[in-house]
Structure 1
Amino acid sequence: MSRGMTTGTAAVEGAFAGTDGDDLFSGRPVHRIFAERAARHPDAVAVRAGATSMTYAELDDRANRLAHLLRDRGVGHETAVALCLDRGPWLPVAVLAVFRAGGTYVPLDPNDPPARRDLVIDDADAALVLTDGPVEVSGVDVLDLGSAALDAAPAHAPDVADDPRRAAYVIYTSGSTGRPKGVVVEHRNLTAYVDGVVRRLAIDRPMRFAMVQPLTVDSSVTALFPPLCTGGEVHLLRRETVLDPGRFADWVGEHGMDVLKIAPSHLRALQSSPRFEELLPQARLVVGGEAADWRWLQALQRARPHCRVVNHYGPTETTVGVLTLAVADHPDADWDIAPIGGPLPGVRVSVVDVHGDPVADGEIGELVVAGPYVARGYHRRPELTATAFALGRYRTGDQVRRLADGTIAFVGRQDDQVKVNGFRVELGEVDAALRAHPAVHASATVVRDLSGERAIVSYAQTGATPDELLTHLRARLAPHQVPRAVVVLDRIPLSAHGKVDRAALPVPPEPAEGAAAATDLERTVSSAWSAVLGVDSVAADVNFFDAGGHSLLLVQLQQRLRDGTGQPVDLIDLLAHTTVQAQARLLSGRHPGLATAPAGRRTPQQDALLRRRVQHSRTIRDAR
């Protein structure tokens, strides 16, 4: 991993506004801070995951032993170690072990298609993949932590010198060229962020943090490291739990939760449940990852007056987040979209024009960030790094304006990067994957408002069918990148300047009619589908995900089916029964549980989640 990042000069930094905090960098990486906590409070609970809990002493011991195994396998200074792990007990062990061995972790999503995982492994030049179950990867050694011989390894930490400029992790984000790009975050960046967010959120005692996002999304960093550095607990909640309001509320009722960081679209999906208030945190509710409706945030604050509701903003390139806005601090504000707030300690921000000169308050400009949170750059992308990270600053590409009180308000993007359901997507990467199909001659990808929801739609000049193209894309893209619809055109419309005429791209047609609902129960299920998908009718034999559904809409469907039938229904069962007909049979009691083969084909996302569920019991048992 290349070095050579420049730092900001005094003249450049003088143009920035920010907050005090230049002395916040203590020089100690987070794994050292955790070790100090473990020495002082060895018997305190550090991690809860399913039926498993680990104390600080147990987590410290396992991380040390695994670190020695990694050293024996050649892991050293900035050796990339890929982590293909669910949110389970092995995840914090693996992260701390990689740090203590001197390596750099590269998260992989077990639900991504193998082709995408292989692309990340290859670009990062990963020497090893750590997993907690079977995983399909190519050309790299795999260590299944469930069978690792930890007991034979030394219990003390390896003798590895700390280096604040060593890469802590590389997170891959969507790339406009068709290949995801890896953001290299150093230990000094990570420590600065943890220190800054602990101060800003006033984490003044050990608190219980719920981690509801995968490690591939850097928002998860907020739920992982701050509690381990302050004596708190990390609650690792699996996907099937955080998407099911009932299960989520059950967990909170049993174990409690003080801090929750979550994407607005995810929280809104959970809000459809009558148990919504049961799953809200006691002390801090942090939303981030996409724009949030201001009046909705105000309503959340009123519903939870003792809990601080905070809007948190920041690109991966600035180590998770750099701006926050506390809702309670603006009781009389009347905004439509919540502003993204003011800088964290040590962060300096500027709003500049196309020439890099500061603009006046109220004028629109690009947000530029400086300070210790700014990452090293993009892995193996020197030209892109030089453009985006010039003079130690990061040009976000986000269009903002500074309000009269100094608060920053988000306006939009300068490029084709979008946020869909909290995930960052470069439309160019979707286009590149589409053009990789041999029958596609030209393509365009946009975000449209479909049934009141932002959705990715692709257009292709091709002789292939939409179903063929969607199958092609699902094998290459992460689930959140797959378009809601692919529209086949005779020709992609162009403007007089030869660019894609986006205004001339047609609205996707309604899905073709299929089998009609034949029973009262099928009609009840079909009605719930129509309400969730925002359509007049649905075929009884179409796959929910092919009809435009996704995991967050499935949460809403679950609640509507419960309300409409009066029967409990598990989210994992809905993932296994993905047509109106199959769900009606499930609800009728003819084919209960997961043993029934679902009608219709499943998407790779469904298959991956179901496989991980089967492995769950063994993983928890082996981690004890």
Structure 2
Amino acid sequence: MLSAELRDTARPRPAARPPESARTLDGLFTRAARRQPRAVVVREGLHQLSYGKADVLSSQLATALLRTGVQLGDPVVVQCADHRQALVAHLAVLKAGGVCVPVPPDLPAGQTAAVAAVSGAGAVLCSLTTHDRWGHGGRFRRLALDDPELWKRIGARPLDRALPRSAPTEAAYLLTAAEGGLWRSGHLVDHRAWHLAMAARSAKAGPAGHTVTVADQPTGPATLSAMWWAFGSGSTLHVPPDGFVPAALGGVVAVCGTAEYPALLDALAAAPPFSPPRSVLLVGAPCPPALAARHTEVLPDTALRAEFAPGGSVLPWAVGVFAAGRDANGTGAPVVGPAPGVRLSVRDVLGDALRAGEVGEVCASGRTLPFDVIGDRAAGRPGAPLGSGFGGRWLPDGALEITGGPAPVVPGPRPYATTARTP
């Protein structure tokens, strides 16, 4: 008869749960850096950065943030001139337990005050070219990441032993977006939601592959969507110096916004023969059927995945998939299905769900979405779904047709504009 010790050993044991730090975005990156420290994480033109170097630099920068007074949950603006700086900045904020507030490098100086008011940020990770935009009477603690003197100072200090301070259910990003030319609201996304959304994308579309190419600015929605998907696969984020060019596309996944994709397709149609990308991922506004048809005409052997992510939320609410080699219907309005883990609904102005054929606002809830909205679109019933600002209606076959939008922002409470965490 087996002894008690042997019986215990023979029993099947549940799989070990990864430590909490391994279930955060920065934890995901650190695991990849330990597996392949010399692998290239960002290739930007002629410049590149390795996983190991990015991990070390971000820990040094996170220590500097803690020394400047950044506390758990504090928002930190990131406005960097290149993708390598931006990656190190994002990792540092997350490791310090802060919340990243990505801002475009070309944001006019006059709008920085609006971003500051929405986010409540008191610290900025920037470049020398954007440093002076955040003066505001000395309110901001500013660190220019292309200043060699900064790295001399922080590189000489020992790393803070409290790092990393991130947690899966804590906010990782505050994603702000300009509405009507003004920065008035933002989506809060935790580490867990981002993890789940990227895992669901990989399960449906396959892993990112060796290289993900993007031609978006360093803190844009397409870049954010591409980078964390790439890092989860240990891939390289490739940023061509002159945007998307045929020579930079062959065999990779290309990520782009729906607004920029028509110009790219026109450029590809006029280019000499080239190796097409394995797939194209569009992020942001709904993909019009005419754009999908143009994609099929120019890149007939390339699959197209269009993720509807309104309001700068980056994480997909709904998805349209167009298989390679299949004709796309170029007429009508965009038709989508819910993204994995998302529950879609169409609601009237009172927040009540509408039946098939009735037009209202497209709303959503789920674990892979932002858990809260702040600013003009904030307030409302606890537990109510997020409002997209886009109109839509259910079709008889259960698909969702996007009929228009985004709708104008109405200041003040909206009964369906915010959501509580989904357990």
Paired position in structure 1 for 2:216: 213
Which of the numbers 184, 191, 194 marks the counterpart of 2:195? Answer: 191
CA distance in 2, matches of 1:319, 1:391: 21
Alignment correspondent of 2:378: 385
Q: CA deviation at 1:318?
A: 5.2
Aligned residue in 1 for 2:343: 348
SS at match of 2:259: helix
Contact 1:374 1:393 (8 Å CA) reproduced = no
Q: Does 1:152 align with 2:145?
A: no
SS at match of 1:42: coil
Structure 2 equivalent of residue 228 of structure 1: 231
* Structure number with larger C-alpha Rg: 1
What residue number does 2:285 align with?
290
* Structure that is richer in helix per residue: 1
Alignment partner, residue 78 of structure 1: 73
1:404, distance to aligned residue in structure 2 (A):
3.8
**Measured at CA, do residues 394 and 329 of structure 1 come closer, stay the same or move farther in structure 2, by a change above 3 Å?**
farther
Match of 2:102, SS? Answer: strand
Question: Paired residue for 2:186, among 182, 201, 205?
Answer: 182
Kindly indicate whether the alpha-carbon contact (under 8 Å) linking 2:209 and 2:253 is maintained by their aligned counterparts in 1. no
The change in CA–CA distance for 1:112 and 1:371 in structure 2 (over 3 A counts) is same
- After superposition, give the CA deviation of every residue in 1:105-134 in whole Å (9 maximum; x if it has no partner): 212222122111233134423222212323
Return the letter of the residue paired with 2:262: R
Q: RMSD of aligned C-alpha atoms?
A: 3.1
State the AA in 2 paired with 1:252. Answer: A
Answer yes or no: is the 8 Å Cα contact 2:300–2:325 preserved in 1.
Answer: no
Write the deviation string for residues 435-483 of structure 1: whole angstroms up to 9, x where unpaired: xxxxxxxxxxxxxxxxxxxxxxxxxxxxxxxxxxxxxxxxxxxxxxxxx
Quote the residue 1:259 is aligned against. 253
The SS at the match of 1:385 is coil
SS in 2 for 1:32: helix
Matches within 5 A, 1:312-323: 312-316=307-311, 319-323=314-318
CA distance in 1, matches of 2:102, 2:259: 23
Alignment of 1:595-614 (within 5 A): none
Q: Figure out how many residues of one structure are paired with residues of the other and give that number.
A: 381
CA-to-aligned-CA distance 1:178-209 (integer Å, 9 cap, x gap): 55223222222222222222223221x63311
Preserved contact between residue 317 and residue 369 of structure 2 (Cα < 8 Å): no
- State the Cα deviation string for residues 496-538 of structure 1 (Å, max 9, x = none): xxxxxxxxxxxxxxxxxxxxxxxxxxxxxxxxxxxxxxxxxxx
Residues 60 and 287 of structure 1, relative CA distance in 2, 3 Å threshold: same
SS at match of 1:89: helix
Moved more, 160-169 or 112-121: 160-169
Is the contact between residue 64 and residue 154 of structure 1 (CA under 8 Å) also seen in structure 2?
Answer: no
Report if aligned partners of 2:240, 2:248 keep a CA contact under 8 Å in 1. no
Find the aligned partners of 1:128 and 1:227 in 2 and give their Cα distance: 28
Counterparts of 1:257 and 1:112 in 2: how far apart (Å)? 34
Of residues 118-127 and 404-413 in structure 1, the stretch that sits farther from structure 2 once superposed is 118-127
8 Å Cα contact 1:67-1:100 kept in structure 2: yes
1:374 aligns to 2:369 (yes or no)? yes
Matches within 5 A, 1:452-463: none
> 1:101 is matched with which residue?
96
- Secondary structure (helix, strand or coil) at the match of 1:311 reads strand
In structure 1, what is the Cα distance between the partners aligned to 2:180 and 2:38?
47
- Match of 1:221, SS state, is helix
Distance 1:208 1:173, change over 3 A: same
CA contact (8 A) 2:336 2:401 kept: yes
CA distance in 2, matches of 1:317, 1:111: 16
Conservation of the 8 A alpha-carbon contact between 2:344 and 2:362: yes
Hey, what's the Cα distance between the residues in 1 that align with 2:326 and 2:93?
Answer: 45
Alpha-carbon distance between aligned partners in 2 of 1:56 and 1:35, rounded to the nearest angstrom: 8
Unaligned runs of 5+ in 2: 1-19, 412-423
Contact kept in structure 1, 2:77 and 2:101, CA below 8 Å: yes
Q: Which residue of 2 aligns with 1:501?
A: none
Aligned partners of 1:30, 1:278: CA distance in 2, in Å?
39
What does residue 171 of structure 2 align with? 167
SS in 1 for 2:27: helix
Is this contact kept in 2: 1:259–1:282, CA < 8 A? yes
Q: Measure the CA separation in 1 of the matches of 2:33 and 2:188.
A: 28
Task: Give 1:416's match in structure 2, choosing from 408, 411, 423.
Answer: 408
Task: Give the 3 Å change call, closer, same or farther, for CA 304–317 of structure 1 in structure 2.
Answer: closer
Cα deviation 1:107-164 (Å, max 9, x = unaligned) = 2222122111233134423222212323222132221212222532446874344323
Counterpart position of 1:565:
none
Q: 2:389 aligns with which of 393, 397, 406?
A: 397
SS at match of 2:260: helix
Q: Is the 8 A contact 1:37 1:56 kept in 2?
A: yes
8 Å CA contact 2:193, 2:368 repeated in 1: yes
The CA deviation string for residues 330-357 of structure 1, in whole angstroms up to 9 with x for no partner, is 9466451452421222111122344544
Greater share of residues in strand: 2
Amino acid at match of 2:310: P
Percent of aligned pairs sharing the same letter: 23
> In the alignment, what sits opposite 2:262?
268
Partner amino acid, structure 1, of 2:60 = R
TM-score normalised to structure 1 length:
0.55
1:130 to 125, 134, 140: 125
* Structure-2 separation of matches of 1:36 and 1:348: 32
Matches within 5 A, 1:465-614: none
**In structure 2, how many angstroms separate the alpha carbons of the residues matched to 1:347 and 1:330?**
28
Q: Secondary structure at the match of 1:74?
A: coil
Q: List gaps (5 residues or longer) in structure 1.
A: 1-25, 243-247, 418-425, 429-624
Q: Distance in 2 between matches of 1:66 and 1:76?
A: 14
Q: Distance in 1 between matches of 2:160 and 2:278?
A: 36
TM-score (norm 2): 0.79
- Aligned-partner Cα distance in 2 for 1:249–1:176: 32
- Contact 2:78-2:125 at 8 Å conserved across structures: yes
Matched, 1:55 2:56: no
How far has the Cα of 1:396 moved from its partner? 2.0
Q: Decide whether aligned partners of structure 1 residues 329 and 364 sit closer, same or farther in structure 2, where only a CA change above 3 A counts.
A: farther
Q: Say which of 386, 399, 404 aligns to 1:407.
A: 399
Cα pair distance change 1:391/1:318, threshold 3 Å: farther
Match of 1:202 among 180, 200, 206: 206
Q: Could you say what secondary structure the match of 2:89 adopts?
A: helix
Check whether the contact 1:29–1:164 (CA below 8 A) recurs between aligned residues.
yes
Between the aligned partners of 2:275 and 2:200, the Cα distance in structure 1 is: 24
Distance 2:351 2:118 in 1: 32
Structure 1 residue matching 2:193: 3-state secondary structure? helix
Secondary structure in 1 aligned to 2:383? helix
